[in-house]
A = this chain, B = another copy of it.
Amino acid sequence: MAYKELKRACYEANLELNTLGLVIYTFGNVSAVDRDRGTFAIKPSGVAYDALRPEDIVIVDFDNQVVEGKLRPSSDTKTHAWLYRSWEGIGGIAHTHATYSVSWAQAQMDIPILGTTHADHLTEDVPCAPPMSDELISGNYEHNTGRQITDCFRERGLDYGEVPMVLLGNHGPFTWGDSAAKAVYHSKVLEEVARMAFLTRQINPGAPRLKEALIRKHYERKHGKSAYYGQ
């Protein structure tokens, strides 16, 4: 019963992926971390959303060992574990194969920051990490997927607190936040931003990046020290 609340939060965040139209079948997974115990709750592998029950959620530690649960955890578990271990400030992670996000990932392109909808959430282009080398793929694949993400952030000097999302080249998006619900929120925002960027560049292939003053203004009014958005 120790993990009842964590499982419930994880379960609801997984269902929300489905409600928001970000997944079909089993194409996605969400986890929620318990920092005090060094464990996280994650969706079991290959279980359909409409069959999922809170008690099916699996508890795993940062070494990928199952702590509680009868089902096999998501095949992407090692990616989640690596991200939790590397980035201490995150509380939840979401992974989907949402249409527009995946399409940018398959195009192997960053999503350019083209408007205030984007700047309300992050000040950078959404980074697209390159596909892994053959060596990393044939090795500890899901673990290396996590490393590919953190390597990308380190090389580009990005802050995971300010850039709560990434595209993995040819694969799809990973997003995070201070909770599982917030990670899912970022998956939805990313999908909408990806769709708008696609349409913008179709309408005007030369549409420029958003000017710096607007990027700062919109980000700061929601997330800055003197933020005045929300209650």
Cα separation A115 to B173 with both chains bound (whole Å) = 12
**A200 at interface, CB cutoff 8 A:** yes
**A158 at interface, CB cutoff 8 A:** no
**A179 at interface, CB cutoff 8 A:** no
Give per-residue flags for A180-220: 1 if the beta carbon is below 8 A from chain B beta carbons, else 0. Answer: 00000100110010011111111110011011011001000
Q: A188-B24, A196-B102, A221-B75 are in contact. Are A45 and B107 (CB under 8 A)?
A: no
Smallest distance from the beta carbon of A107 to chain B beta carbons, Å?
4
Q: Which of A97, A107, A213 has the most CB of B within 10 A?
A: A107
Cα separation A211 to B204 with both chains bound (whole Å) = 24
- The residues of B that contact A228 with a CB separation of less than 8 Å are 45, 72, 75
Assess the A115–B172 pair: CB atoms within 8 A: yes
**A108 at interface, CB cutoff 8 A:** yes
Smallest distance from the beta carbon of A208 to chain B beta carbons, Å?
8
Copies in the complex: 4
Binds B, one of A2-10, A30-38, A86-94, A134-142: A134-142
Cα separation A71 to B229 with both chains bound (whole Å) = 12
Give per-residue flags for A105-120: 1 if the beta carbon is below 8 A from chain B beta carbons, else 0. Answer: 1111100001111000
**A18 at interface, CB cutoff 8 A:** no
Inter-chain pairs besides A75-B228, A109-B204, A198-B202, 6 sampled, C-beta below 8 Å: A72-B230, A103-B203, A106-B207, A107-B200, A131-B211, A198-B203
- The residues of B that contact A172 with a CB separation of less than 8 Å are 115-117
- The residues of B that contact A62 with a CB separation of less than 8 Å are none
Assess the B141–A203 pair: CB atoms within 8 A: no
**A11 at interface, CB cutoff 8 A:** no
Q: A170-B115, A202-B198, A230-B45 are in contact. Are A25 and B134 (CB under 8 A)?
A: no
